[in-house]
Amino acid sequence: MTNRLLITGGSGFFGRALLRHFHAEARHSPLGYPNDFTEIIVISRNPDVFANRYPELAHAPWLRWVRADVCQRPTLDLLLAGEAVNAVLHAATDSTDAAALSTFEKLDQILEGTRNVLDLAVRLQAHRFLLTSSGAVYGQQPTEIAQISENYCGMPDPLQMSSTYGIGKRIAEHLCYLYGRKHALETVIARCFAFVGQDLPFDAHFAIGNFIRDALQNPSIEVGGDGTPVRTYLDQRDLSRWLMVLLERGRPGQAYNVGSDAEITIHDLAYLVRDALAPDKPVNISGKITAQSYRNRYVPSIAKVKSELGLTVRHSLQDAIRESVGRPCAG
């Protein structure tokens, strides 16, 4: 029996992490298929470019690429005509390239893309649907809350330009809920926080990626602020494993935080990257801590995925940093 999974965003950070996961699963599977799926169909705007850049990920007997844009409805309407899939994983709107888009483009990509893919999932008779949402849906984390849980009802300020991504993801989550009720589609939400791994870009808006770039290429590691913000980082190998468990076993109509709960300040993160990759380089922190410094936090509670699905963090942050540049820790 053919068991098909459809993935959007196959060429992005989440997509590449998932493809590496599938290849590893297939290598260790007696049947040669990943995660019990006999075929994985990946939607990409330009599969040829991806294949040229990542040939090790683009070719497998169980992998099929289709050219389409989730924001362009005509490219999806005739896609896979007469076929059916078992599940859809919608990862086409992660935050990796969000900084390169205007606010309207960002919102359109999230809302139109999600609705188009939900319609496609219904047409292809999918039973399960996983949306990669974001911890940004919670808005600014209050300082008195150590870890933000799925039942926290905060939200981004709708009158701030910086809230576009988080608000878009909130509406996308609601679309999933509505489609689940109307079409008996089992929709699950993955609220994703911060990650690190070999597919994280070193020239985007991610502090840890910038620190790794500095450690490898520049005379010093530069911290733009005062180093007080608190973050957590999950290895992309854990990210991929968690997403597949959520797709297969997450409760329909539920949201789950996806991330690490091991917090670290940006100050300490810069030194951790330095110690792991370039012990002799200095760390320069441009901002000064004052009485008015705001200790920004972005720390999820992962109690729900642990208790309901038995998920754990397998890879330490230090291991993830070294793995991101091809220097895995021993063992």
Q: According to the model, what pLDDT value does residue 331 have?
A: 37
Using one digit for the tens of pLDDT, what is the confidence trace for 38-74? Answer: 999 999 999 999 999 999 999 999 999 999 999 999 8
Residues in the chain where the model's pLDDT stays below 70: 1-2, 94-100, 290-295, 327-331
Query: In which residue are the tokens 């939400």 written?
Result: 189
Please answer whether residues 80 and 88 qualify as being in contact, where contact means their C-beta atoms are separated by less than 8 angstroms.
Answer: no
User: Which residue type does 131 have?
Assistant: L
Structural domains in the chain, CATH included, are: 4-197+234-259+301-314 (3.40.50.720)
CA distance 208 to 205: 9
Please answer whether residues 267 and 286 qualify as being in contact, where contact means their C-beta atoms are separated by less than 8 angstroms.
Answer: no
Within 8 A by CB and 6+ apart from 292, the residues are: none
From residue 161, give the alpha-carbon distance in Å to each of 145, 165, 173: 24, 9, 20
Is residue 28 packed enough to be buried (19+ CB in 10 Å), middle (13-18) or exposed (0-12)?
Answer: exposed
Q: According to the model, what pLDDT value does residue 287 have?
A: 78
Q: According to the model, what pLDDT value does residue 227 have?
A: 92
Please answer whether residues 41 and 4 qualify as being in contact, where contact means their C-beta atoms are separated by less than 8 angstroms.
Answer: yes
Q: According to the model, what pLDDT value does residue 293 have?
A: 54
Please provide the distance, in angstroms rounded to a whole number, between the alpha carbons at the two ends of the chain. Answer: 38
Using one digit for the tens of pLDDT, what is the confidence trace for 97-127? Answer: 656 678 888 899 999 999 999 999 999 999 9
Q: According to the model, what pLDDT value does residue 330 have?
A: 42
Q: According to the model, what pLDDT value does residue 286 have?
A: 86
User: Which residue type does 226 have?
Assistant: D
Query: In which residue are the tokens 């599969």 written?
Result: 47
The torsion angles phi and psi of 209, rounded to 5 degrees, stand at -65, -40
Percent pLDDT > 90 in the chain is: 78
* Alpha-carbon Rg for the chain in angstroms: 20
Nearest to 250 by CA among 305, 288, 195, 287: 305
